[in-house]
Amino acid sequence: MMLRLERDSRTPLYLQIRNQLREMILDGTLSEGSRLPPERKMAAALGVNRTTVVNAYRELAADGLVEGHVGRGTTICRPPLSSSPQSPTYLPPHPLVWSEYFVPRTEGSRDPLLRDLMALLTRSDVISFAAGIPAPELYPLDDFQQAMTHVLNAAGQTFLQPCPVEGYYPLRQTIARRMARRGATVRAENILIVTGSQQGLDLIARAFLRTGDEVVVEAPTYLGALHIFGAVGASLLGMPLDEEGMRMDVLENALVRYRPKLIYTLPTFQNPSGCTMAPRRRLQLLELAHRHRVPIVEDDPYGELYYTDQDPSPLLALDQDGYVIYLSTFSKILFPGLRLGWVAAPRPVIERLSQIKQLADLHCSTLIQGAVHEFCQQGALDRHLERVRDLYRQRRDAMLAALAEVAPAGLEWDEPQGGFNLWCRLPAGIKARQLMAEAARQRVALVPGEVFYPDGGGQEEMRLNFSYPPIAQIPEGVQRLGVALTALLKKRKWVEEQHDVEFAAQPIV
């Protein structure tokens, strides 16, 4: 038996021996049933330590190519390699069990409630109060197409090339100018373009959070934030809301007790509750953040969708010392399918988030950034906002009017001053989960409140979206909802009666 060992190779000797023996077994030089030389003899022949040979034989045995028997030596036990060039391996098919390879995820499995809801939304006969997106029929398609054609015509090459990770500079300037109009003085250098505020949040989570870190959120809050913070293993502190927004007494308590890493808030036309944080609260929030030295993440997708005369400033506008990391997106004010949003923050934060974004996806589509910039430059975004503010206000009013007309006793709702959502509290004892099922039978969709809570709660609350359904469908949808709710109320009454009857009928033992 000829083995050639290279003593200065990077491959250890035992592997060189194993590899060469394996070749000989697989190509038939060593036939099944024949024996390998005893370890001591082989070691002497090769001039290596006996352990080296023992290890080589062990590897072969582990691969099923030889068997060792005390007293009988080491026997070849595998057939040689098939001669077909298509199957150079003698290994039996053996797919990987992928789940063993994945990093375990800390977030819970997906709620079947959301799956059921998604299934419901694909049905064309359903009136949806469950969406979270703008009305497609209001999309400013012509203006956008014009902007797209313009950038492709004028500088197509440029807009199909890479751009800096922070984003297309003129778009960053445009966004900074728009924010200044809303009272928040930021420079283009403070803007990072991201693929929607979802990515902004994900980058923030990756930059700031580790497993076990505490994060303050509103309860209820944006579902995507719950998932992102959950996925990095953060522990969530849900702050109750009242009519002025996040409760500051509870927040202060949480800051003292848990020293959270971040405070996440949607202060304006909150999703899902529609609630807007009162000016006084905003100042208190900033003061508390300042005192406890906790950064605030302000998520503001709806701020420009106001339905009164008041154009609300973001929290960022009040921030003197740079505690606020601000997020917004074109998904609600323009098109959700574009995937374009931004972060406004102090430079050190922008730099860190940019480093992470560089790894995550290099930069956002240059073409999409160019087209949106052109769209804004043409004044099309302002025209569009003016138009949709009016139309969404009408939808909100239609929903409020319909609720006032058909709502059964015990249903309560808030009147949002902007945004997409209207928050309802159900009559006592009625679960939104049940109502969702009953409403599905009536061909109307809603989102049960509980999915928006970090830690239980919201079972008797629900979110109704009024931006997505055409205005003509809103009264009919609310009507159907009323039918569903009335059916549940009747059922509840019937169950109570039965309970009373049964109770009365029970013999007193």
Of 149-157, 180-188, 424-432, 483-491, the segment contacting a second copy by CB under 8 A is 149-157
Of 176-184, 206-214, 411-419, 445-453, the segment contacting a second copy by CB under 8 A is 206-214
Of 44-52, 364-372, 398-406, 441-449, the segment contacting a second copy by CB under 8 A is 364-372
CA gap 251, 238 in Å, rounded: 9
Q: Find the helix packing angle between 50-62 and 39-46, rounded to 10°.
A: 120
Chain residues 277-296 in contact with a second copy, contact rule CB under 8 A: 283-284, 286-287, 290-291, 293, 295
Going residue by residue from 151 to 190, which x/- string records binding to a second copy, judged by CB under 8 A?
Answer: -xx--xx-xxxxx---------------------------
CA gap 315, 265 in Å, rounded: 10
Contact flag: residue 33 with a second copy (CB under 8 A): no
CA gap 485, 407 in Å, rounded: 8
Minimum distance, C-beta of residue 484 to a second copy, in the bound complex (Å): 27
CA gap 61, 75 in Å, rounded: 10
Pull the structure tokens for residue 148.
Answer: 């797209």
In contact, 172 and 372? CB cutoff 8 Å: no
Pull the structure tokens for residue 473.
Answer: 């469908």
| 413 residue type, one letter | W
Contact flag: residue 359 with a second copy (CB under 8 A): yes
Chain residues 413-442 in contact with a second copy, contact rule CB under 8 A: none
Contact flag: residue 496 with a second copy (CB under 8 A): no
Minimum distance, C-beta of residue 468 to a second copy, in the bound complex (Å): 10
Chain residues 84-103 in contact with a second copy, contact rule CB under 8 A: 87-89, 91, 93-96, 98-99, 101-103
Unique residue bearing structure tokens 């309560």 = 412
Of 182-190, 200-208, 442-450, 485-493, the segment contacting a second copy by CB under 8 A is 200-208
Closer to a second copy by Cβ: residue 18 or 396: 18
Closer to a second copy by Cβ: residue 241 or 364: 364
CB-CB neighbours of 77 under 10 Å: 14
Return the half-sphere exposure (C-beta side, CA atoms, 13 A cut-off) of residue 78: 21
Contact flag: residue 195 with a second copy (CB under 8 A): yes
Q: Which of 182, 256, 177, 266 is nearest to 223 (CA)?
A: 266
Unique residue bearing structure tokens 């159907």 = 480
Strands 296-299 and 214-219: unpaired
Chain residues 51-70 in contact with a second copy, contact rule CB under 8 A: 59, 63
Chain residues 216-255 in contact with a second copy, contact rule CB under 8 A: 224, 227-228, 231, 240, 249-250, 252-253
Q: How many residues bind a second copy, per CB under 8 A?
A: 98
